[in-house]
């Protein structure tokens, strides 16, 4: 019997319209699906009657009613219990998938956005050999966000690079505040994931080293036509502009001069030394 495979499929931030044709074909030919309930609804016509084993993210980012960002400051024994539970969930899912693959079944794990940028699917992928897994990218969240804003992230104005990160990784402790001072020496487009819940602190840190009129865009529920919401402002007023919006997870923050005016032509019509 030919062994099956695990397909990790980037479904894009919004649904089938932001998923590649190859990925959609792969969902149709898979025997078993792993995905959250909302994704199942968006891709119902492609999943059809295939069994959905589980929501692979359930229990990975919360424990006993607390989100992980609160758990990291909890009692050490609670943190340890959370770690053990996460590992148990992972091993159960990996074991199930391996069993099905051994029986010739193809399993598709559906992940929003870009599976290779803050992709939680790697929590499972690393339990398999390289040749047992195929990754099919969809439209990345950043690309979809810039399209929604109708802007180019680089080389607009004097932008020299694009930074994609999360404040959780960029500033793991208070001493890391110096990193913003270092970054402020170079014009960049900055893209922040998993930052909505602590946006006020991020804006404060940026304001310490960047001008108050630096443009900021916050994109909520990207790609979901009925819920997508784009709020634009500056470091000075963006916190005020998003007050009252209760969403603290599903969103992306983009900071940089690329968000203002038309800076692309002026950059490209001048000679650039390479």
Q: Which residue has the higher pLDDT, 28 or 225?
A: 28
Q: Does residue 124 carry a pLDDT above 80?
A: yes
Q: Looking at the domain assignment, is residue 274 inside a domain?
A: no
Residue 175 domain boundaries: 142-265
Residues written for the chain: 274
> Does 94 share its domain with 164?
no
Q: Does residue 183 carry a pLDDT above 80?
A: yes
> Does 68 share its domain with 191?
no
Q: Smallest Cα–Cα separation from 129: which of 110, 103, 102? A: 102
Q: Phi and psi at residue 191, in whole multiples of 5°? A: -120, 120
Q: Looking at the domain assignment, is residue 81 inside a domain?
A: yes
Q: What is the C-alpha separation between 255 and 257, in angstroms, rounded?
A: 7
Kindly report the number of other CB atoms within 10 A of residue 43's CB atom: 23
Q: What is the C-alpha separation between 183 and 53, in angstroms, rounded?
A: 44
Q: What is the C-alpha separation between 199 and 167, in angstroms, rounded?
A: 9
What does the buried/exposed string (b/e) look like for 91-113 if buried means 16 or more CB atoms within 10 Å of the residue's CB? eebbeebbebbeeebbbbbbbbb
Q: Are 189 and 153 in contact (CB under 8 A)?
A: yes
**Domain CATH code at residue 158:** 3.30.950.10
Instruction: Read off the pLDDT of residues 32-48 as tens digits, 9 standing for 90 and up.
Output: 999 999 999 999 999 99
Q: Are 113 and 140 in contact (CB under 8 A)?
A: yes
Which are the contacts of 28, defined by CB distance < 8 A and separation ≥ 6? 46, 48
> Does 172 share its domain with 253?
yes
Q: Are 169 and 197 in contact (CB under 8 A)?
A: no
R_g of the chain computed on alpha carbons: 21
Q: Are 164 and 142 in contact (CB under 8 A)?
A: yes
Domain termination residue (choose one: 112, 139, 166): 139
Q: Are 123 and 230 in contact (CB under 8 A)?
A: no
Q: Does pTM surpass 0.85?
A: yes
Q: Does residue 141 carry a pLDDT above 70?
A: yes
pLDDT reported for residue 173: 64
Of 56-65, 93-102, 160-169, 240-249, highest mean pLDDT:
93-102
Q: Which helix (H) or strand (E) holds 230?
A: strand 229-234
Q: Which residue has the higher pLDDT, 61 or 177?
A: 61
What is the maximal distance between C-alpha atoms in the chain? 63
Q: Does residue 273 carry a pLDDT above 60?
A: no
Instruction: Read off the pLDDT of residues 57-113 as tens digits, 9 standing for 90 and up.
Output: 999 888 888 887 788 777 888 889 999 999 999 999 999 999 999 999 999 999 988
Q: What is the mean pLDDT of residues 256-260?
A: 93
Which are the contacts of 33, defined by CB distance < 8 A and separation ≥ 6? 27, 40, 47, 50, 51, 52, 53, 107, 108, 110
Q: Are 258 and 155 in contact (CB under 8 A)?
A: no
> Does 115 share its domain with 224?
no
> Does 97 share its domain with 146?
no
Domain termination residue (choose one: 139, 174, 192): 139
Q: Does residue 28 carry a pLDDT above 70?
A: yes
């Amino acid at each position: 019997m030919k062994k099956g495979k695990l397909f990790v499929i980037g479904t894009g931030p919004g649904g089938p319209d932001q998923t590649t044709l190859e990925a959609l074909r792969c969902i149709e030919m898979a025997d078993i699906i792993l995905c959250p309930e909302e994704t199942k609804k968006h891709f119902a016509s492609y999943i059809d009657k295939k069994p959905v084993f589980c929501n692979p993210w359930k229990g990975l980012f919360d424990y006993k009613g607390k989100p992980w960002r609160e758990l990291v400051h909890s009692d050490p024994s609670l943190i340890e219990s959370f770690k053990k539970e996460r590992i148990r969930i992972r091993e159960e899912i990996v074991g199930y998938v391996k069993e099905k693959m051994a029986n010739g079944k193809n399993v598709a794990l559906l992940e929003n956005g870009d599976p290779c940028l803050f992709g939680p699917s790697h929590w499972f992928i690393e339990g398999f050999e390289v040749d047992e897994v195929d990754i099919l990218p969809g439209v990345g969240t950043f690309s979809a966000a810039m399209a929604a804003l109708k802007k180019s992230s680089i080389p607009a104005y004097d932008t020299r690079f694009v930074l994609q990160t999360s404040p959780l990784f960029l500033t793991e402790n208070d001493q890391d505040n110096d990193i913003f001072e270092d970054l402020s020496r170079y014009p960049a487009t900055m893209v922040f994931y998993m930052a909505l819940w602590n946006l006020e602190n991020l804006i404060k840190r940026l304001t310490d080293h960047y001008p108050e009129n630096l443009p900021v865009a916050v994109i909520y529920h990207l790609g979901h036509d009925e819920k997508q919401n784009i709020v634009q402002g500056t470091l000075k007023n963006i916190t005020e502009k998003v007050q009252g919006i209760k969403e603290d997870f599903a969103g992306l923050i983009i900071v940089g001069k690329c968000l203002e005016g038309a800076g692309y032509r002026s950059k490209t019509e001048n000679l650039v030394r390479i």
